[in-house]
Structure 1
Amino acid sequence: MKLLGFELTKLLYKRMLWVILLGCLLGNAAFFYFEQVKSHSFIIQQRDQFKTLAQQYIKMPAEAVSPDLEHRINQLQQRMDQGYAASLEQPEMMEQLQQLSTELQLYLLLQEQYTHIADHTVFLEQLASKADDMLSVSIFQKQDSFSYRNIIATAQAFERQGTLTLQPGINEQVESFFKHRLQDYIILFFMLVFGFFIFHQERENKMDLLIRSTKHGRRQTILSKLMVYFVAISFVFFFVFGSSFAMTSYLYGMDFIERSIQSVPGLSRGQYVLSIAQFFIIFILLKWLAFLMLAALSALLFVAIRHLGQLLLIAASIIAIQYASYIFIHPYSPAGALKFVNLFYVLQTDQLLTYYRNLNLFGYPVPLLQTNLVFLLLAIIISVAASVWIYCKKLSETSANVTWLAVFDKLKSKLLRPTSSYSLFVHEWYKNMISNKGIVFIICALFFGYIGLQQEPIALDHIERTYLEYMGKFSGPLTEQRIEQIEQEKERLQGISNEIQHLEQALLEKKIELSGYSSQMTLLMPQANASSGFYKLYDQMRSLLMLQQSTGQQQTLMSATAGQYLFAHPFRVSLTAIIYMTLLMLSLSTIITSDYRSGMHLLQCSSRFGQTKLLRSKRAVSYIIICFLYIIVFLPPFLNVLNYYPHFYWNAPIQSIPLFEHYTWTVKVWQWSLLVVLLQLAASFVISEVIFMLSYLMKKQVLVLGCCIVLFLFPLITGAFYPHLFASYPVNRLLMLQLYNADPNGLLVQLALFIIIGLICAFASRLLLRPYTNWRRGASLGANDSSSF
């Protein structure tokens, strides 16, 4: 119990940690509130009126609901038409018209819910009919096969829903709660912070060997750490989810929670017969179990891996593999189980309750919920057992020379021996690339860069394919000859369309035989189908022609697909920015904090060049690392455009790309691309200065990474899902290429402010070294006094 109290006290005395937790709780509640008010303001404002209206129809006989709703809606629409005509002459009737509009929207919303209730009944009937039809086919009649058992299990699972009475209500009270993702990120952040303070801080302070050499320093200690870790995560979990639940209750109320979840469209395809109240309880418990499993895996990584950078890298690799399995594996592939028994699928807990699917386990259908419950429990048990075993049995550093890791370190020291140069730059480069494992992040960047390279031409739909085919004929500078050719092609396609209409009319009037009609349509339809791609090109040409006439600058007709991919592809741009920022944070956060960790900072600062030339060397190393990472991560999209996106002219005006047609700058595409590269590199250099300042201020890598996650990575991740939230944030605008809708002059102002922030951080980094300067002066004065004495 004393060990348990001691581990708990370590967290309780981190006052700043609890201040951050309070801020996260308030921020989560505020974000949830504003998100819901923006998305569902009508139902929030009219909650009581909708509740009264719904209860009236719940008491009515089921067969009378639909006719009554139709009558009321028609009546309100007629009154609104009359009221609108009268309001033109009597403006004071606008308020009454607004009331009629509100009432009509309430009735339409209620009608939509009753339509869903009717559709669910049809769905159940079709499901039973489909099961009977499938069992009548010979290939599904083998009783010891998975297909037969799955059909029977599916019919039985939904058979219980036939007796349900679905009711209308405020569906947003459920959907808004389980779709809110910010609370997940908050818990993951505290999971990392708690893991550092409980497992890694003692190791960083060189206290772990001393603790493990005491009487209760192994099994009892690690069990106490794990228990406190789980309790702390659970505490944060229930507080964060409690704040979201409190806001849900405040905005939508807790009425209608006794109705079945099948009444809610987003939850209606689940097999489990639950009330909304039961769904809330089970959802929270499953989510809690999922985060306990993540906490157990995190504890295992903290115990097994000593270096924090390696830990984060391995964790990122596991997440990347799990995410790739979740996204890219087809549900019906042989490896489909990896898609559903997955960290990302488990964290989206609502799908376990609302998405029906059975996994094939030795020919027997097993529901996803049961499978993932077993997965969660086994993962927790195995991770806890492995953490205890590793902590108790792990060899100390003094005897580690017999392990393979020591052999690797000796081999590395011989093969990667530093040169005989005394250059501070060479020393810093070696220290960060080899000792701090910076080369690992470069290798990861090469891996992600290789993945970003396209290995084959892009798959296009029919419109894009015909658009690029026409672009191959007409792309180039917008001359009068090219415009005339495009107009002639338009007239030809219009002639084909008219000819098809004449053929259809002739067939209706029996002026042509069906065989002749079919043969001529076979010739005309492929050309007519190509018109959709042509008219996309034609609209682009017209816009460029208007721009050319207004500016007097000749434009170029070029592929809009390539410009969209290079500068505004949402998934690629967001993923590239997140990967780059993650590698940048991990690489730069060790440059200064490693000196504090090894205790060398005082010696460095007391040396001749410790505060001038050494700092410049560190800065030069960071800039080179930034350039390496940037080239590796951001170069593949440009190579893909060169290899697989035809009809893209680098020497054309930037306005030739439809995204930038409103720009007033007269620059070429290659000049704009170079400007984007310089802007992003400048932003990266500023970010490096911020990381340096945080490193001198906080001295610990985990705290620096935590601040960087909040300042840089969190806005990027949030911006990938909610682009409007951080649209004006300089990091998002520059790294996620949100430049096509930006004012160029305003963009330069933002960049200038960003650079000023970087200069301030660089100056602050220099000021944070002043105490060591004073310390040196004091030591020097003391030495002079003692000698004189």
Structure 2
Amino acid sequence: MRELKRIIVSKTNIVCIAFLIFMNVFIFFWESTPKGDICTLPEYTDRYIEVLNTCKGMDNEEGINYLNNLKKLSEGTVLIPRWLYSKDMEYKEEASGFYYKKYGEQMIKDIESGKIDTSEQAVKKAYITIEVCNILIEKINHLTEYPEYIKTISENAENMKSVSIFSDPNSFSYRNIIKTVEDFSKIHITELSLANDLAVNALFTDSISDYSILAYIIFIVLLMIQERKKGLWPLVYAYPEGRARLAIKRVAILLLCSVIATVFLVGSRFLTAAIVYRGFGDMSRPIQSMSLFKGVSQPFTVGGFILNFFLFKIIGTWVISLILYFMMLAISNTSLAVAVTSLFLGTEYTLFALIPDSYAIAVLRFINIFALINYNRIYMRYLNININEYPINGQTLTTYMIPVAMILFATGCIIIHHKKKPFSTPNPLLKLYDKILKLRAGLSDRFRLFFAELHKTLWIQKGAFVIIVLLLWAIFASEAPPLNVSEYDGNLVYFENMFTGEVTEETLTKIDEETVIAYEEMAKGSMHGATKVQYLSMIKAEALAKKGTGLWIMDSTIYDALLNRNVEGYQRKTGLIAILFTTVMTAGIFAYEHQQKMKYLLCSTDRGRTVLVRNKTLIACVMTCAVWLIVYGFEIRNAVKIYGSLHSLSAPVQSFMSEFPYKMTVLSFLILIYLLRLLVLLSMTFMILLLSNLSNRANAAVITSLAVFSLPAAIVIMGGNIMEYFSVVKLLSPQENIPSLILSYTLCFIPGIIALIANTVIWKGIRYENNNSKRFI
């Protein structure tokens, strides 16, 4: 009971699970919010359900016709007014044939007369409707095509058996054909139906909660072996109940933690999705009714599949926890055990992510710890593995691995915990580790205090764990910064790329040559030629305006994304992530000494009052730089991946940001923007260090810092604009502050500098007097 209370009911565990729930729900809303500022999530959901309910009473063909007509009407509501009221008369005349042909004369007349509403609200609703129609058309097409897909499997099987290379009954190919047909023949395709499946899709397209569970299990395993860090292992081992009986209790606690992790982390996201998307939909229909589950070969209902998913998650998480606990028990040295476990997880993930389906070692992807984490890739895809010329389904391999691993590692944990003594002869791993430690000691002698602080921050205060969580977010959950869709024009981008560079006479000549060719195409009745004429005239107007100024014609898409003024709240949401992780990483740096009753002893020495405070501040700066590098480094990486390379870096920034008052190149401007973000985070870090120095406990310092810095930022993101004056989150979106750039950042840096000076003075003012700890400045 005491062990259960120590782990489950501890404040640390409650804070950890609460933090992970908050992160999961926050990222859900972040990912689910419709792109492009077109509508809110409730508006999108209401329109989706409204159109869906209309389609439910129709057969597939009627539904497709209804959706296509609704989509056409919505597109007309958006596009026809742009054409009708265009000031470019030449374009208007050339495009008239296209609009009359596609939308019909009646719709154009209705829009001109006002019978069809084209107000801002109606256009907004039309945008939502187009998106909804596209999604529902895809879903109904799946319902129509899935029976043909099943039929095709059987027909292909018969055809392939007649081909000589597949006709040998003892070959893998022949057996695979037969097995595939048998597996899919159990599905009842006549029961497929359309329903609200947004919440179910949200559950099964989520990877954040999967890796949140892994992070939580690692945290619990480290919490379990705390007696080693505190030097209590010999005492625990000497107690009769501290061996096998304690091991059995911990194995059971790991099961309980697996239930907690699955219910709270996966369940909270699923429940949130159900609330946001107005329910779970029809749970009695076949799971194959959704295109996401096309590869599922078992005859599950939606409800049965979800129940199976949660049971798998609980048992799979328990097996993962047993494997990790086994590894930590098997290696006596905690630091070495963490290093070996990290290497093991890295190797497992590499095998899981990179082995192609066709390789002979594909079996290692299914007998893998990450197969227990990523349910989607294993149980929602159909794949048979060739094992000695017999087709074995990958799902079957993982399913049979679970009970075997569960028995082996549960038994192994109990035996090792019972048999392994606190003091044993060094093994080869420990000898190698000792050599590494000696090498490190030789290198760190000169900077002993710095490395001691770094070790304390990364290992004792779990800074390394925080960085790993941030990296997991950056790799799996971070997104490219969005564009303002209303300002993006793909055709214009094409011509900008064609004439990229400083505007010269040669540029104008090239534009004129392309314009002549475009007019020739338009004279032949080409709609493409008319479009080219329109955009080339826009490019020429821009070129004439920039001629002689040194400005460039350039595609600014990637810079519009990176430097957007908080489109979809992206800049502030990313800023909140940076604030949150910076706070957690640095808040305990000074408070830890006070918590351990060491602050006054350290400050009784000259180096403790001078060198130590500098090293602590330097460590905080290093941690802040690491957070900044990960958050904004992945922002640039994601942007490059979506929008293309960072080009035209030597161009003046006014080429696409005419309102910026200072002359500099695009590269210099990018450096300035990201450097300002770093300086804001550093200024905040100095204020966090001051709070840490004034706190008696590390947890109190973290909670206070989160309340002072992260909470106001979260309120700003949720719409509480009044809190902008009390948060640094707006300053992490420098593009919003260009009109008052110098003033805004000066006002931010001054408190940081004051906090840095005050923190140093307070630390140096601590003395030891008459064996009583007294503090004065």
TM-score, normalised on structure 2? Answer: 0.66
Between the aligned partners of 1:404 and 1:563, the Cα distance in structure 2 is: 50
TM-superposed deviation, 1:273: 0.8
Q: How does 1:478-497 map to 2 (within 5 A)?
A: 478-488=503-513, 491=516
TM-superposed deviation, 1:284: 1.0
Residues 1:744 and 2:735 are matched in the alignment: no
- Which residue matches 1:269? 295
Between the aligned partners of 1:542 and 1:300, the Cα distance in structure 2 is: 70
8 Å Cα contact 2:495-2:536 kept in structure 1: no
Distance 1:555 1:666, change over 3 A: same
TM-superposed deviation, 1:653: 0.9
8 Å Cα contact 2:258-2:315 kept in structure 1: no
TM-superposed deviation, 1:555: 1.7
Aligned residues: 678
Residues 1:135 and 2:161 are matched in the alignment: yes
TM-superposed deviation, 1:298: 3.6
Between the aligned partners of 1:135 and 1:351, the Cα distance in structure 2 is: 29
1:672 aligned residue (651, 660, 669): 669
Residues 1:777 and 2:769 are matched in the alignment: yes
Between the aligned partners of 1:179 and 1:412, the Cα distance in structure 2 is: 43
Which amino acid is 2:380 matched to?
Answer: T
Between the aligned partners of 2:201 and 2:14, the Cα distance in structure 1 is: 30
SS in 2 for 1:160: coil
Q: Please give the per-residue CA displacement for 1:517-555, whole angstroms capped at 9, x wherever unaligned.
A: xxxxxxxxxxx9xx9xx9999799658636626xx7312
TM-superposed deviation, 1:265: 2.5
Q: Which runs of 5+ in 2 are unaligned?
A: 35-39, 78-105, 476-489, 565-570, 718-723
Between the aligned partners of 1:707 and 1:297, the Cα distance in structure 2 is: 36
Between the aligned partners of 1:180 and 1:635, the Cα distance in structure 2 is: 23
8 Å Cα contact 1:698-1:704 kept in structure 2: no
8 Å Cα contact 2:366-2:397 kept in structure 1: no
Q: Please give the per-residue CA displacement for 1:349-372, whole angstroms capped at 9, x wherever unaligned.
A: 244443212122222222222122
Between the aligned partners of 1:537 and 1:729, the Cα distance in structure 2 is: 43
Residues 1:231 and 2:256 are matched in the alignment: yes
Q: Please give the per-residue CA displacement for 1:60-88, whole angstroms capped at 9, x wherever unaligned.
A: xx7xx745985899799999989994996
8 Å Cα contact 1:360-1:366 kept in structure 2: yes
Q: Please give the per-residue CA displacement for 1:172-212, whole angstroms capped at 9, x wherever unaligned.
A: 24223333455445544543443343322x23332223212
Q: How does 1:353-372 map to 2 (within 5 A)?
A: 353-372=379-398
SS in 2 for 1:366: strand
- Which residue matches 1:455? none
Residues 1:652 and 2:651 are matched in the alignment: yes
Distance 1:85 1:346, change over 3 A: same
Which amino acid is 2:391 matched to?
Answer: P
8 Å Cα contact 1:486-1:538 kept in structure 2: yes
- Which residue matches 1:460? none
8 Å Cα contact 1:400-1:406 kept in structure 2: no
TM-superposed deviation, 1:615: 0.4
Between the aligned partners of 1:699 and 1:214, the Cα distance in structure 2 is: 32
Distance 1:411 1:124, change over 3 A: closer
Between the aligned partners of 2:579 and 2:667, the Cα distance in structure 1 is: 25
Q: How does 1:512-527 map to 2 (within 5 A)?
A: none
Distance 1:661 1:220, change over 3 A: farther
8 Å Cα contact 2:33-2:41 kept in structure 1: yes
Distance 1:197 1:477, change over 3 A: same
- Which residue matches 1:219? 244
- Which residue matches 1:461? none
1:610 aligned residue (608, 617, 631): 608
2:305 aligned residue (264, 279, 285): 279
Bigger-Rg structure (1/2): 1
Residues 1:145 and 2:171 are matched in the alignment: yes
Between the aligned partners of 1:31 and 1:419, the Cα distance in structure 2 is: 40
Between the aligned partners of 2:630 and 2:67, the Cα distance in structure 1 is: 63
8 Å Cα contact 1:436-1:594 kept in structure 2: no
Distance 1:393 1:611, change over 3 A: farther
Q: Please give the per-residue CA displacement for 1:257-303, whole angstroms capped at 9, x wherever unaligned.
A: 21111222222332111111111211111122232233224424544
Between the aligned partners of 2:442 and 2:368, the Cα distance in structure 1 is: 43
TM-score, normalised on structure 1? Answer: 0.65
Which amino acid is 1:204 matched to?
Answer: K
Between the aligned partners of 2:71 and 2:310, the Cα distance in structure 1 is: 42
- Which residue matches 1:428? 449
2:430 aligned residue (370, 390, 405): 405
8 Å Cα contact 1:559-1:647 kept in structure 2: no
Q: Structure 1 stretch 401-410 or stretch 601-610: which is displaced more?
A: 401-410
Residues 1:158 and 2:155 are matched in the alignment: no
SS in 2 for 1:209: helix
Between the aligned partners of 2:302 and 2:118, the Cα distance in structure 1 is: 41
TM-superposed deviation, 1:7: 0.4
SS in 1 for 2:385: strand
SS in 2 for 1:270: coil
TM-superposed deviation, 1:381: 4.2
TM-superposed deviation, 1:703: 10
Between the aligned partners of 1:299 and 1:558, the Cα distance in structure 2 is: 56
SS in 2 for 1:365: strand
Q: Please give the per-residue CA displacement for 1:304-363, whole angstroms capped at 9, x wherever unaligned.
A: 567777766666555554554455444334454455555555433244443212122222
- Which residue matches 1:458? none
TM-superposed deviation, 1:170: 2.0
8 Å Cα contact 1:66-1:111 kept in structure 2: no
Q: Structure 1 stretch 258-267 or stretch 276-285: which is displaced more?
A: 258-267
2:682 aligned residue (679, 685, 695): 685
Q: Please give the per-residue CA displacement for 1:592-635, whole angstroms capped at 9, x wherever unaligned.
A: 68868998655313324424442023324554687799899999
8 Å Cα contact 1:218-1:391 kept in structure 2: yes
TM-superposed deviation, 1:213: 2.7
8 Å Cα contact 2:454-2:619 kept in structure 1: no
Between the aligned partners of 1:419 and 1:350, the Cα distance in structure 2 is: 46
Q: Please give the per-residue CA displacement for 1:652-706, whole angstroms capped at 9, x wherever unaligned.
A: 31244x6x57755421134224424533542563475477568765867999799
Residues 1:169 and 2:195 are matched in the alignment: yes
8 Å Cα contact 2:687-2:755 kept in structure 1: yes
Which amino acid is 1:617 matched to?
Answer: N
Between the aligned partners of 2:254 and 2:372, the Cα distance in structure 1 is: 21
Q: Which runs of 5+ in 1 are unaligned?
A: 453-463, 505-527, 720-725, 783-789
- Which residue matches 2:720? none
Percent identity (aligned): 18
- Which residue matches 1:520? none
- Which residue matches 1:8? 4
8 Å Cα contact 1:143-1:149 kept in structure 2: yes
Between the aligned partners of 2:274 and 2:549, the Cα distance in structure 1 is: 59
Which amino acid is 1:478 matched to?
Answer: V
1:548 aligned residue (546, 549, 552): 546
8 Å Cα contact 2:283-2:301 kept in structure 1: yes
SS in 2 for 1:359: strand
CA-based RMSD of the aligned residues comes to 6.3
